[in-house]
Every structure is written in structure tokens, then in C-alpha cells.
Amino acid sequence: MRKLTLPLALLVVGAIQGCATGPQFFGHTDKTSCHEPGSDEWWAEKALLPPGERAHCKKGKVWPAVPRSSEPKQQFSHIYHSEHYWPLPYVCQDRAAVRDMIDLQTSLGWQEETTLYDRHFDQITDQLTRAGEMHLERIVYVLPPEHRAVYVQSTHDDGLDAMRMEVVHAAVASLSRGNIDVPVSLRECQELSRAASEVQAINSMYNGSIPSPRISSAGGGGTAAAGTTP
């Protein structure tokens, strides 16, 4: 029992050193900090140290063979705190980063959904086309209030942009009748989609270019196939 007395005493002293007093219990100085060991500033600085294993060099090799912090080790009380509450609070930072990315993508998606592009304006009169009017009606009447905003694609022509903004402001005022506040903003963006008329024209040309013989409807084809034997 006497042989265990000294190690046990050292263990108790080490626990006291890590939990309460810090290195100054033995008169040591902390070369990694400019604060007095054991002071509130020193503990606040040590609380910022990351948890986990530290990288160390042995026989010319860095161990372990994965990225690890090279900062001083945590205090015993901080190690206990990290292991007791793991993965908090570190997982909260990861979750917040993912949420921020999703929120950004959602916001950009709503901008795309509420933008009047060049195709929504008549190329001669610069008035809204019927497609532009329907798109604007959907923004004003259908979209949720928190996403109810109108963006106008910039033409990089100040005069033309001012004219289109005036047209959109007048159309929004007419639709809302002063009861709905819908902001209108100019937006620097690129049109990535096609106009509905262009899509219809491409589809019509595709259907007209199918060579003969053409496959009949599913009902007719099915009946013929059922009554025919190879």
C-alpha cells in the first residue's frame, strides 16, 4: 500500500493542477501564453484550444498520418468538458454552415423565380409582353409575401433600364392597387432559360422533321400488335 501512496498523491496533485490552480501550483510558467497561468485571461485563452490528439514528430515522421492540430494540449478540465459534451458545440458550427449555404441557394432561387428577363419585354416597344404580364401577376398574387419582390434584368443601358423599371412600377401599381407593397429592383444577371414561344417553335420543328413511317398512337399500335403473329 505504501508503494501506491506517491503515485496516488501525484495523481491527485495533477488533477488539482488541471482543474483548479493551473501550472503556477508548482511555480511553472507557460511559454505558450502571455498571460499569468491560472488567471481568468489564461483560462479563457486555454478554453479556445481545439480538442483531440496533437500532431507530433517521431523519428522524422509526423504522427498520426492525418491532419491534427499542433497547438498545446487542452487542460484536463477542458478535455473532460470536450469529451462529456461531444459533438457539441462543434457540430453546431457545421450545421450552421450547411444552413447558411442552403439559405443562400434558396434566396438565389427565389431571385431567379421573380426576375423579369429580356424575353418578358417587347423588343420594339419595351412594354411587357403577355408572358411578362402573367409572370408579374404570379409574383404579385401567388408567391408568399416574404418572397414577393420583382427583379428586372439589366440591359447595361441606363436609358433602357430606366424605361423598363418605369413600365414595371406602373404594372405593379396597377395590379396591387396600392394594397400590396412589392419592391422592384434592377438586377445584374444572365438569362439562362428560353422563351416559351421559342421552346414551342423548336418542338414544332422537331415533330415536323420526324421521317416516315411514324409510330402510331399507343392504342392503335397495341391493337395491331395483338392481332398480328410473326
Q: What is the pLDDT of residues 82-140, one digit of tens each?
A: 999 989 888 998 999 999 999 999 999 999 999 999 999 998 999 999 999 999 999 99
**Residue 111 sits in the same domain as residue 179:** yes
C-alpha angle 129/130/135, rounded to 5°?
A: 95
Cα dihedral across residues 75, 77, 78, 82: positive or negative: positive
Q: Which residue, chain included where needed, has cell 523519428?
A: 59
**Residue 116 sits in the same domain as residue 39:** no
- Domain annotation covers residue 95: no
- The C-alpha cell that represents 113 in the structure block: 423565380
- Domain annotation covers residue 201: no
pLDDT band at 142 (very low <50, low <70, confident <90, very high): very high
Q: What is the pLDDT of residues 26-52, one digit of tens each?
A: 456 788 899 999 999 999 999 999 998
User: Residue 175 in contact with residue 133, Cβ under 8 Å?
Assistant: no
Lowest mean pLDDT among 5-19, 67-81, 111-125, 185-199: 5-19
**Residue 37 sits in the same domain as residue 110:** no
**Residue 118 sits in the same domain as residue 183:** yes
Q: Which amino acid is at 99?
A: R
Q: Which residue has the higher pLDDT, 98 or 7?
A: 98
CA dist., res. 229 & res. 218, Å (int): 18
- Domain annotation covers residue 2: no
Out of 54, 85, 116, pick the residue that ends a domain.
Answer: 85
C-alpha angle 116/120/121, rounded to 5°?
A: 110
**Residue 168 sits in the same domain as residue 105:** yes
Q: What is the pLDDT of residues 174-215, one digit of tens each?
A: 998 878 889 999 999 888 777 777 778 888 888 888 888 777
CA dist., res. 173 & res. 175, Å (int): 6
Q: Which residue, chain included where needed, has cell 417553335?
A: 201
Average pLDDT over residues 11-19: 51
**Residue 77 sits in the same domain as residue 107:** no
**Owning domain of residue 33:** 10-85
Q: Assess whether the previous peptide bond of 87 is cis (omega < 30° from 0).
A: yes
Output the pLDDT for position 174: 92
Instruction: Tell me, yes or no, if the pTM score tops 0.75.
Output: no
**For the chain, what is the domain count?**
2
First to last CA, the chain: 98
**Residue 171 sits in the same domain as residue 105:** yes
Query: Between β-strands 150-153 and 115-116, what pairing exists: parallel, antiparallel or unpaired?
Result: parallel
